[in-house]
Structure 1
Amino acid sequence: MAIEHSERQVALLRGINVGRAKRVAMADLRKLLGDLGYGEVRTVLNSGNAVFAAGGVPPATSATRIEEALVLKLGVAARVTVLSAGQFGELMAQNALAPADDPARLLALVLNKPADGARLAPLLGQSWQPEALAVGDWAAYAWCPDGVLASKVVAALGVLLGDGVTSRNWATMQKLAAVLNGPAAAS
């Protein structure tokens, strides 16, 4: 049975392959997703990003299934956020800070629970110059001209949301969009 493009999803694993902790080979991640019944699995970079055909499984169910399988099969506990192709497209379109001249300094902080976006209202009223903050339905967006590690915006978001958010730089998000919107990968 062919899986429709609209059934594709994006999984973002929090904290994978950062330093020596939570090491997951992308080949192992592809196999894990395939063993869960997902098709057309492709990983992007080595930081826990995958695009796959979900076959009608809702994103929240996919996230739970992947989290559980990571622990059971690979011994790695990691928060997983999954977005449908439509949700990911909205996330990309809602970035009020794009385009950036340096996409490595522009972050999308993807919300594990979209309702958490309401908790960011107090931060939107603050001046972050030369940094900037914007919020969409699925993510907060942070411009970090002096780098992510020096960012006051990113630090404030981390304190407020903890592990309820996973971040990717805009260059990675663009790569994920290209894979998601490109031809389906071979199963």
Structure 2
Amino acid sequence: MNNWLLLFRGINVGGNNIVPMKKLTEVLMSMGCAEVKTYIQTGNFLIEHQENNQSKLSANIADEVEKSFGFKPQVLVLSLDEFTQAARQNPFPKAELEPKSLHLFFLSQAAQSVDLNDLFLLKKPSESFELVGQVFYLHAPEGIGRSKLAVKVEKHLGVATTARNWNTVQKLLGLAGIE
């Protein structure tokens, strides 16, 4: 069995795509997922599954959610090593003191031909960002809701993303038994 982290995009946010975590857990278990653990209502799961291919597992889960709930979400599947590495590579360690100001945008695939200058023009003077592999780190001390950069990240990277704040990243690591 392989250990995976599932990051669902856009469920139970703003009253859209409402999915009870208990029912979603049941769907995952019916697909062969074991040791299913969840954190908060926005679609963060730790699972064990025999599938070795992340893309295939993601597509299968999205298809099952569509059958069960009537919409097809983006499901980013990460190994625990990938997720742990993303946390360890945080280029803004001082921002960890304000965990809701630090966000990790996990990319569905590597961004191609990214012009970071376009993103630099969008950022507030107080904001900092860095793209490291398939993770876009954003420190937005004034709040992500006030960040023009946060709204435009996906468009400028040209790939689908799903973001988690530092607090959620730490809670998921703890849930996985990683310190």
**TM-score computed with the length of structure 1 as normaliser:** 0.85
Flag structure 1 segments of 5+ consecutive residues without an equivalent: 183-187
Counterpart amino acid of 2:100? A
The CA distance in 2 between the partners of 1:168 and 1:136, in whole Å, is: 15
Alpha-carbon shift at residue 47 of structure 1 (Å) = 0.6
1:71 equivalenced with 2:66 (yes/no): yes
Q: CA offsets, 1:79-113, max 9 Å, x none? A: 11110111111111111013422101111111011
Flag structure 2 segments of 5+ consecutive residues without an equivalent: none
Distance 1:129-1:167 versus aligned 2 partners, 3 A rule: same
1:106 equivalenced with 2:105 (yes/no): no
- For these two proteins, the number of residue pairs brought into alignment is 176
The CA distance in 1 between the partners of 2:117 and 2:75, in whole Å, is: 26
Q: CA offsets, 1:45-95, max 9 Å, x none? A: 111110001224322221111111110122232111110111111111111
The share of aligned pairs that are identical, in percent, is: 27
The CA distance in 2 between the partners of 1:177 and 1:139, in whole Å, is: 16
**Equivalent residue in structure 2 for 1:51, among 46, 49, 52:** 46
Alpha-carbon shift at residue 25 of structure 1 (Å) = 0.7
The CA distance in 1 between the partners of 2:7 and 2:61, in whole Å, is: 10
Counterpart amino acid of 1:70? V
Counterpart amino acid of 1:51? L
Q: In structure 2, the residue corresponding to 1:29 is in which secondary structure?
A: helix
Alpha-carbon shift at residue 155 of structure 1 (Å) = 2.2
Counterpart amino acid of 1:110? F
Distance 1:90-1:8 versus aligned 2 partners, 3 A rule: same
Question: Which has the larger displacement, 169-178 or 51-60?
Answer: 51-60
RMSD value over aligned CA atoms? 2.0
**Equivalent residue in structure 2 for 1:8, among 3, 10, 22:** 3
Q: In structure 1, the residue corresponding to 2:59 is in which secondary structure?
A: helix
Quick check: which one's strand share is greater? 2
Which position in structure 1 is the counterpart of 2:78?
83
The CA distance in 2 between the partners of 1:22 and 1:102, in whole Å, is: 29
1:130 equivalenced with 2:126 (yes/no): yes
